[in-house]
Structure formats: C-alpha cells, structure tokens
Amino acid sequence: MRLPPSPSTAHNHPLLQLLRRCADLPSLRQVHALLITTGLALHTFPLSRLLSAASRLSAAYSLSILDRITNPTVFLFNILISSATPHHPPELALSHYLRILASGRGLPAPLLFPNSFTYPSLFKLCRTYRLLDHGHAIHAHALKFLDPPFDHFVQSSLLCFYAITGRIDIVRILFDQIEDPDLACWNSVIDAYTRCDFVNKYIGITDTVGGNSAELSSEALSLFVKMLTCGVRPNEMTAVAVIIACANSGALYQGKWIHRYILKNGLKMNVFVATALIDMYSKCGCLDLAYQLFDKMPHRDILSYNAMIGGFAIHGHGHRALELFDKMKHEGLMPDNTTFVVTLCACSHVGLVEEGRRVFRSIKEDSGIDPKMEHYGCLVDLLGRSGQLEEALETVQSMPMKPNAVLWRSLLGAARVQVNLEIGEVALKNLLQLEPEISGNYVLLSNMYAASSRWDDASRVRQSMKDHGIDKVPGMSLVEIDGTIHEFLTGDRAHPNSMEIYYKLEEINGLLQEHGHRARTRTVMFDIEEEEKEDALSYHSERLAIAFALITMEPGIPIRITKNLRVCEDCHAITKLISVIYEREIIVRDRIRFHDFKDGACSCSDHW
C-alpha cells in the first residue's frame, strides 16, 4: 500500500487513544483491524502510532506491518528505531537503520536517507548498551548524511554518547559547539568529567587519585559555576555529578558549598543526592558529617548503606561497618556485590579475619550467589594483610575463575608488608603477564628487595622498568586551603611559596630529631648513604603539603591531604609525631584508606 498524506483529523482520532491503552497483542490486533476498516491505516501519522504501539509489544508484529508498506518513509523507520530502543535488543533498532541505508539498492540513488530524527535514537541506543564501536561508526554516518552544524537534538545525543566513553577531549569539543546548551547538555559534560575521574570502583582495592584527578574535578566544578552564570538552573542529577567531583578530589570546601546550595535553592534531598553527600563527606575525611546525614535519611536504600559502610571501611572503623551490615539485613535489604566488597574491605583494614571469613561465606549462604572476582580480591587482601600469606596464595590458586591483576597485586602488596620474597616473586610473575606496563607492580617488588638490602635485585627490577619504557608514578599530594586545592609532587619546588615550605621542612625535621625520630630508610630503593636516604624521604609530597598547611592555616584547623600513593612507613611515623609537636589533627587519604593522625596516634592502628 502507498501512503497518502495524513488528514488533519487523523491526529486526534479516538482510535489513536485506544492505541495508547493497548496492553497486550490481542487488543492491539483489534484496534489495528479498526484502523484498516476506517481507512486510517492508509495515513502516515496513524500508521506511525500503530508501529510505535506494536514495537512496544511485539517486534515480529511491527515488522509484519512494516513489510506490508510499499514505500515506507524514513519517518516510519525513525518511529521503529526510537520505539525499539527501550523494549528490545539493540540489534533490532540497528537492523531498521540498515534497512534505511539499503533502500533503493540497485537503483542509481537510495530511496531514503537518515535525517536529524534518526540519529538521536541511535546514539541513545549506543549509550545505553555501551556500543562504543557502533557509536563511532554512526557518528561518521551522521557527518556523511547531515549538514553540519548538527541540530540541537543530534548535538545533545552525540554529547551524551561520548560522555560514557572517557574521551573527555571529544566531549568538550562537542559541548563548546552547542550555542545554548540546555540542562541535559550541562549535566552530560559535568558527568563526563566526573566519570573520567571516577576510577575508585571498589573502595580499598583500586581507589586511586590519578595525576590529573584534581584538574578533572576542578574543571567539573568550574563548569558548574559557569552553568549557574548562564542562568541554567541545576537539578538533582547535576548536584550528584558535582558532589562526586568534590569527593574524587577531596574538595571539602566546594562540597560543603554545594550542600548549602542544595538546601538554599530548594533542590530535593532525595536518596541519590543524600548518598552522594555521604560518600563525599566520607572521602573528604568528615565521617561524623557523613553519618549525621545517613542517620537523618527518612528512607535508606542499598546504595546509601553501601556508601556509609564504605565510609567506615576507609576510615578504619571495621566494627561499625559490620554493625551497619547486619542492621541493613535486619531491615530487609539484600546485600549486593558492592555491599560485600565494602564490608570485606572494612574487615581487611583492621584485621578482622574471622569476621571477614563470615561475610565471605554469607555471599553464598545468605544471598545464594557465587562470590565474584572482586569478593575473592577482598578475601585475599584480608588474609594477606593479616600475615596469612600461604592461605591467601592458596585462595588465589584455587578460586573458580582465573585471577586478575587486582588479586595478584593485593598478594604482592601483602608480601611486601610481610617481606615474603618468595610469594612476592610469584605474584609479580603473574602480574607482569597481565599488566607489563604498570609501574607500581615493579616498585612493590623493588621495595621488598630494598627492605632486605638486596640491592642487586632491586637494581635489576628498576632496570627492567627502564627496558620496558616504564616510569614510576611520582608521588603527588593535594591539600585544600580556603577552598583552593594546592598540588605537590615529591621534591617539588614549583610552588610559589616553595622557599617558605622548605624552611618549614627544616624546622620540622629538627623538631622530629629532638623527639627521637630516626628515619625508617629500609624501603628507600637505592644503595646510597643513610643520610642521603633520609634526604630522599624528607621531600615526599605529603610532607611538603603538611609544611605548607602549617604555614598558611590557622592553628587548630585539621589539615586534610589527599595522596595518590600509599603512605610510606617513614611518612606515617613522622606524621604521628607532627600531630603531637604542632598539636594538629592531620587527615591523610592515600590510595587505600584514610589515616587520621591525632595526639601521636593514627586511626589505622598501624594496620594499613
């Protein structure tokens, strides 16, 4: 059948109202029959509503309708593509698109061309199902078939697609090309910066602060401010993305400002916003504020429990995490994969071996699911940290799936702490097969050799790094002063206050010696004189950050530092002493957990 122009009366015909209410295929067939007998099925708009309803209920039925149309328009194909996306596998929508491209095959030119209404649905499809290669190909097709600049809907959908890919450079180019970005565009670009920076999927296992973490999070915050100046009112989705950016970079001042903005401007404190704030306060070292928010939530879901348990975990409050884990189950909430991960991490950080074993067993016994790779990783980390390396190695070798790099790295780290070279070498051998380019793997083993004064072996590992073109990740620490984040690298002299910082370091080192401190140099990786080793330790990034904070911050204010590497043994010891000498609380978030130094002690009880 050929389709005549749709009469104006067809847009509000009572049968179209019936179509919207069709909940099953038999009722749809009845309405379809009425559309045929009234002649409405010969018009484009009623037919598009029929295809939309049919696609929602039965892909086969919608295809049977389409196959009876002699020359379907691109409008009808667009309806099928958009309708198929939320209800059917992605292959169906893609097959409709391919039929558009294949139209007129064998003729001098195609009968149909995709248009600006075709591509938003396709980009949404690729975003929803993470079809990155398909998305890139469809982007190329859009450049071929549409005249740039694209219209707003194509630009927005393309931006949303690239926001999930991690290509922040492309996202920013696309965003800057949009003349008047709407709220959805602002949310997408801010979320893209947050997503790119959010590498700490499992708290305590792979939680790191990358070299460009502060830059990415700072840009997300700058975009939020720019959005406000453009007169675009944020919503709760915006707030969550910005709060996550603050959490990633440890930007407590900005996080508190966002919290005040939410309360002042009437944004809803829904479960997503509250959970993001709990996570932010936990990761910025304000565990009490995080728990106050959690305790006041009228409704707590599994995500909010996970955030709070994770907060207790990284702050070393294992027993409180376990109490919350049990309370959650008593309230009828079923733990998910993340719940078990953060609870096991809480046990690992304080050496609760038996409790951790109980939680691990409950994955299968209580939840009826088989433990996954990340759960085995937590168990290996728990056993290794507690000195039970043989059992940890046995767990890795007997688990039902092939161990990944995270498990071998956990074992290697534990072997370094326990100075077990035999197991450390086994772990490194497997690690290098999986991640030959990761510098931290070499550094861990090199530290072990250095701690045992096996300088030839340490040099061999360092030479292997050079041979593979691998550079050690430099130590980097961030400290927030009056809302401004300052970054320090190990041995850094680029800061404008560098001279004052190094004078302060000299003062600190002198006072440390007066209090009996002797540098723990066993993990310094070079066979050099003891005095040179002490100098190498003195310029670690967190020491520069502490010195700067002591110069610039008012007495009594806690110093909060975010570090990209694990705190070394000597820095841990001297920070405890500094907290006594200067009567300051110093909160350090390293790549594993928080260390709250106060009155000469650390919250980790030297178990990290």
How many whole angstroms separate alpha carbon 294 and alpha carbon 510? 44
Token pair 């080192």 is found at 509
**4-8, 64-68, 170-174, 355-359, range with the lowest pLDDT:** 4-8
List pLDDT tens digits, range 230-285. 999 999 999 999 999 999 888 888 899 999 999 999 999 999 999 999 999 999 98
Q: What is the pLDDT of residue 213?
A: 61
Least trusted range by pLDDT, from 15-19, 179-183, 184-188, 391-395? 15-19
Distance, CA of 554 to CA of 557 (rounded, Å): 6
Q: What is the pLDDT of residues 64-78, one digit of tens each?
A: 999 888 888 999 999
Distance between CA atoms of residues 26 and 504, nearest Å: 81
What is the mean predicted confidence (pLDDT) over 149-176?
90
Structure tokens at 358: 């109980």
Domains annotated for the chain, with CATH where assigned, are 372-473 (1.25.40), 476-602 (no CATH)
Mean pLDDT is highest, among 61-65, 67-71, 102-106, 302-306, for 302-306
- Sheet with 586-589, edge to edge strand ranges: 484-489, 476-481, 559-563, 586-589, 594-598, 601-602
**Mean pLDDT within 79-99:** 89
Output the pLDDT for position 441.
73
**pLDDT for residue 266:** 92
pLDDT at 214: 64
Average pLDDT, the chain: 86
How is 10-33 classified by DSSP, letter by letter? GGG-HHHHHHHT--SHHHHHHHHH
Average pLDDT over residues 84-106: 85
Report whether pLDDT(597) > 80: yes
Q: For residue 605, what are its two tokens? A: 């009880």
What percentage of the chain has pLDDT greater than the value 90?
A: 54
Confidence band, pLDDT 50/70/90 cuts, at residue 538: low
pLDDT of residue 108: 58
For residue 384, give both structure tokens: 């290794």
Contact (CB, 8 A) for 549 and 559: yes
The tens digit of pLDDT for each residue in 367-381 reads 788 999 999 999 999
> pLDDT-derived band of residue 212, with 50, 70 and 90 as boundaries?
low
pLDDT digits (tens, 9 = 90+) for 423-479: 988 988 898 788 777 777 777 777 777 777 787 888 887 777 777 676 767 788 989
Q: Where are the beta strands (DSSP E) in 171-307?
A: none
Q: Minimal CA–CA distance to 605: which of 321, 378, 344, 317?
A: 317
- Summarize pLDDT for 391-408 with one digit per residue, the tens: 999 999 999 999 998 889
**Nearest of 171, 174, 225 to residue 195 by alpha carbon:** 171
In sequence order, what DSSP letters do the residues of 369-437 get, joined into one string? Answer: ----HHHHHHHHHHHHHTT-HHHHHHHHHHSSS---HHHHHHHHHHHHHHT-HHHHHHHHHHHHHH-TT
Checking if the pLDDT of 418 tops 70, the result is: yes
What tokens does 449 get? 């050799």
Alpha-carbon gap, residue 148 to 133, rounded angstroms: 22
**197: pLDDT strictly greater than 70:** no
First and final CA of the chain: distance in angstroms? 74
User: Residue 215 has what pLDDT?
Assistant: 75
Q: Looking at residue 199, what is its pLDDT?
A: 35
**pLDDT band at 168; cut points 50, 70, 90:** confident
pLDDT at 226 over 90: yes
Contact 57/25 with Cβ under 8 angstroms? Answer: yes
Cβ atoms of 530 and 565 within 8 Å: the answer is no
The predicted structure's pLDDT at residue 312: 96
**What distance in Å separates the CA atoms of residue 404 and residue 575, rounded to the nearest whole number?**
34
Kindly tell me if the per-residue pLDDT of 206 is higher than 80: no
Mean pLDDT is highest, among 142-146, 201-205, 531-535, for 142-146
Q: Look at residue 593 in the predicted model and tell me its pLDDT.
A: 84
The model carries a pTM of: 0.78
Other Cβ atoms less than 10 A from the Cβ of 587: the count is: 22
Residue 505 has pLDDT above 80, yes or no: yes
Assign 313 a pLDDT band (cuts: 50, 70, 90). Answer: very high
Lookup result for tokens 């890139």: 136
What pLDDT does 435 receive? 79
Looking at the predicted structure, is the pLDDT value of residue 203 above 70?
A: no
Residue 448 tokens, joined: 């072990």
Percentage, residues of the chain above pLDDT 70: 90
pLDDT tens across 430-443, in order?
987 887 777 777 77
Note the pLDDT tens digit of each residue in 327-361. 999 999 999 999 999 999 999 988 899 999 999 99
